[in-house]
Structure 1
Amino acid sequence: MKTVDEHLADILAATHRLAPLDLALLEAVHGVLAEPVTAPVNLPPFDNSAMDGYAVLASDVAGASETSPVTLSVVGDIAAGDQEAYGIRAGLCARIMTGAPVPAGCDAIVPVEWTDGGTAKVAIRRPAVAGHYIRRSGEDVTEGQVVLEPGTRLGAAQIGMLAAVGRARVAVRPRPRVVVLSTGSELVEPGSSVGPGQIWDANGFALTAAATEAGGVGFRQGVIGDDPRQVLAAIEEQLGFADLVITSGGVSMGARDVVKEVLSGLGTMKFEQVAMRPGKPQGFGLLDDHTPIFTLPGNPVSAFVSFQVFVRPALRALQGLPPDPLPTVTARLTTPVSSPSGLRHFLRGALVYRHGAYEVSPAEGQGSHQIFSLSSSNCLMVVGDDVTSLDAGAPVDVMMLP
């Protein structure tokens, strides 16, 4: 059997990042930036007011107090977006709105709350030092500064930054299109009634959701039976559209493992046993020379664990990101666990942070078919290949689930 690390290394060696696309900003959301972005101007581009109030000379209001206010003549109103040139000299002031350009000669903003709100004359009851409530040009970003680096995932704040420096379009590596196909004549669509020997398709929905959680765009195809021609046709139909294909079921050692039957010998497909539990039977390869296809086991927990261990890093690699595993911490076991020799064991569990340290408790059901214990867990405990038991209180690596 291959080790988990060997299988993952082979996957990553065959997985190449997607070519960047030039996209409008709102089309680029959740994509990964493929170019450095610099500011063409200072931000803010001009000195502006941080408050609604009055633009003044600090020296004029130095002696202002509640009992002895300073009265100044108001010479105008300056609104945000005002393009007229204004100047302030001693004894005068101007009403000013938040974001409006600071007039020449002004060196402080007095908030309206410190005044009587006058329009022709204003009584100012508190002093303001030079620079008070003035946003200086370039105090956020300076001209030529790199504001976003390649490899940045573009969320709302980053899209706002792009717009703030005047970018309407940007080069990004798009979210990979992930097509998920569930195989098996025993599967029926949720919402339908089940007959003898039938089950609802959980894998198709779980894996599609997992692909979306991992930064891809998941597309679930309908259930495919065990007819080899239908399975092959369904896979081939997606190759012109998908950046990555996932199948579940039909890859073990049974008499009707149809996925293994139809894909063996195509492209670079290999079907192997990986030293892990759950998820030992694995298949991976490239079809049409560039589309990765993962053929995962049919048991729902096996498929889910296989996705997190193998598919998730590949999705990150497609986007030009480091193929990091799930965030991992070290936790203390609350109860002992056992593990088969020679297999890396991924156990479902409940992770909590208590008294300055992580603690983890194994889920009661660890069978590869027991999806309830998976849905009730927030982590996977990773027991090493050469470890057969761990006592309560022992440290263990824990992968935190999304």
Structure 2
Amino acid sequence: MARSVADHRQAVLELLADAAAARRSEQLPLSAGLGRVLATDVAAPLSLPPFDNSQMDGYAVRSADFGAQGATLRVADPVPAGAAPRALEPGTAAPIMTGAMLPEGADAVVPIERAVPDSFPLPGAEATVILPEVAPGDFVRPIGSDITVGATALVAGTALGPAQLGLLAALGLTSVVVRSPLRVLLITTGDEVVEPGTSLTPGKIYDANGTLLEAAMVQAGLTVHRSGITVDDPGALLALLRSRAAEADLIVSTGGVSKGAYEVVRQALHAQPVEFLSVAMQPGGPQGIGRFDGVPFLGFPGNPVSCLVSFEMFLRPVLTALVGAPPARTALTARLAEPLSSPAGKHQIRRGTYLPELGTVRLEGGSGSHLVHALANSNCLVHVPVGVTDLPAGQDVEIWML
């Protein structure tokens, strides 16, 4: 009986849990941290903001100078952003810019729009200003109102995007300790497969899987080592694995996992604790999972769409769950632009183009696992769950944005 998609994903998660937990860490400049995952908690070395500052362009004042009708105050020296101001004397109001440090003695800011006149006098000019009543703290950003010194700014496991890196920069940090990426040994198999750029003789095809999977894995934050194309010789594949396995946290192969007579991966790994099975999914039904000499191993099918769907359905979401990156695919609901059919008892994944202005998804190509052109012209995966065999146009379906 075929394994469900959910059960196989759980098996992949359990396979990789130890490798994910045991990853090393490295220190990188902030500029290199985008998309990486924090290895340790980060405590704030200072408060943000680091001083009381003005929320508005206006006048810094002492609220004690005001009565119910407001106050008429002498204009003091202005406070530009970035300056260390002198203490504010009683009975005065200091022109202050947004973000500028509040002078000692001041406890509120009156926006310039509420002042009479509603424009600042020229620097050095003798002037007074009429201001309405204020309360302590009005239009003031208190020290530490964002985060206080010593508080946890980010926790280990946080994926670093622009906002997180911006916070670390605001705290004055120039580097960050991140988890080292998992190292993947990627193996493409098949006598029929040749490298792009070489001569294409009868019966041969160019290898799309190596480039396709390497790009997907690098985009997901993995470090990928490609072995090149391995011919359908079990002994040669076994020798390659023995020579390269120690440098990897995970081995991924494409091809050679079905039930045919020349399935090289099955033949090479027959003595290893690797299971070759069928998952109730189309495309990508044949799967391999286990360990080679103790290193986690995943065997994906050889057709290009099948191997990418296998990555998207199993490896990518497991990385999200265990590592915190890459981010999960955005799931949406869209209406089918055309009817579709799906095999009974299988979770079908079709390629499609989501048209947000219409809220619809157009299928690209058929259900075949060789349709690379259709895949390249898609921006989403369309999910048809087990038990659904026919859907009419206009039916809502779940899609994952690519």
Normalising by the residue count of structure 2, what TM-score does the alignment of the two structures yield? 0.80
Alignment of 1:84-103 (within 5 A): 86-90=86-90, 99-103=99-103
Structure 2 counterpart of 1:121: 125
Q: Secondary structure at the match of 1:351?
A: strand
Q: Secondary structure at the match of 1:114?
A: coil
Deviation string, structure 1 residues 322-367 (Cα, Å, up to 9, x no partner)? x997443343333222222222222222333456xx4333323321
Structure 2 counterpart of 1:159: 165
Q: Secondary structure at the match of 1:222?
A: strand
Distance 2:207 2:301 in 1: 13
Amino acid at match of 1:304: L
Distance 1:288 1:123 in 2: 83
Kindly state the Cα deviation for residue 303 of structure 1 after the two structures are TM-superposed. 0.8
**For the Cα contact (< 8 Å) 1:348–1:362, is it kept in 2?**
yes
Distance 1:78 1:329 in 2: 48
**For the Cα contact (< 8 Å) 2:61–2:109, is it kept in 1?**
yes
Q: 1:124 to 1:370 in 2, by over 3 A?
A: farther
Structure 2 counterpart of 1:368: 369
Structure 2 counterpart of 1:261: 267
Structure 2 counterpart of 1:351: 354
Q: 1:287 to 1:44 in 2, by over 3 A?
A: same
Amino acid at match of 1:105: G
Distance 1:354 1:98 in 2: 40
Distance 2:129 2:226 in 1: 66
Q: Secondary structure at the match of 2:256?
A: coil
Q: 1:129 to 1:141 in 2, by over 3 A?
A: farther
**For the Cα contact (< 8 Å) 1:348–1:374, is it kept in 2?**
yes
Deviation string, structure 1 residues 213-239 (Cα, Å, up to 9, x no partner)? 333344444333334344334434443
Kindly state the Cα deviation for residue 207 of structure 1 after the two structures are TM-superposed. 0.8
Alignment of 1:240-319 (within 5 A): 240-266=246-272, 268-289=273-294, 291-319=295-323
Task: Tell me which stretches of 4 or more aligned residues in structure 1 moved more than 6 Å.
Answer: 51-54, 76-79, 109-113
Kindly state the Cα deviation for residue 153 of structure 1 after the two structures are TM-superposed. 0.9
Kindly state the Cα deviation for residue 377 of structure 1 after the two structures are TM-superposed. 1.8
Matched, 1:335 2:338: yes
Q: Secondary structure at the match of 1:121?
A: coil
Structure 2 counterpart of 1:377: 378
Kindly state the Cα deviation for residue 165 of structure 1 after the two structures are TM-superposed. 3.8
Q: 1:351 to 1:233 in 2, by over 3 A?
A: same
Pick one of 148, 152, 167 that aligns with 2:154. Answer: 148
Q: Which runs of 5+ in 2 are unaligned?
A: none
Structure 2 counterpart of 1:185: 191
Q: Which runs of 5+ in 1 are unaligned?
A: 65-69
Q: 1:371 to 1:128 in 2, by over 3 A?
A: farther
**For the Cα contact (< 8 Å) 2:187–2:230, is it kept in 1?**
yes
Q: 1:103 to 1:196 in 2, by over 3 A?
A: same
Distance 1:344 1:34 in 2: 36
Q: Secondary structure at the match of 2:297?
A: strand
Distance 1:354 1:158 in 2: 32
Distance 1:7 1:28 in 2: 32
Kindly state the Cα deviation for residue 117 of structure 1 after the two structures are TM-superposed. 3.3
Distance 2:385 2:376 in 1: 24
Structure 2 counterpart of 1:67: none
Q: 1:50 to 1:326 in 2, by over 3 A?
A: closer
Kindly state the Cα deviation for residue 209 of structure 1 after the two structures are TM-superposed. 1.6
Amino acid at match of 1:370: L
Deviation string, structure 1 residues 280-301 (Cα, Å, up to 9, x no partner)? 2211112342x32211111111
Across the aligned residues of Structure 1 and Structure 2, the Cα RMSD in angstroms comes to 3.6
Distance 1:28 1:241 in 2: 24
Structure 2 counterpart of 1:390: 391
Matched, 1:80 2:86: no
Amino acid at match of 1:345: Q
Deviation string, structure 1 residues 35-84 (Cα, Å, up to 9, x no partner)? 444435431121134567775557599667xxxxx76353x8766264xx
Q: 1:79 to 1:161 in 2, by over 3 A?
A: closer
Distance 2:356 2:81 in 1: 51
**For the Cα contact (< 8 Å) 1:302–1:368, is it kept in 2?**
yes
Distance 2:53 2:300 in 1: 58
Normalising by the residue count of structure 1, what TM-score does the alignment of the two structures yield? 0.80
Q: Secondary structure at the match of 2:12?
A: helix
Amino acid at match of 1:185: D
Amino acid at match of 1:89: E
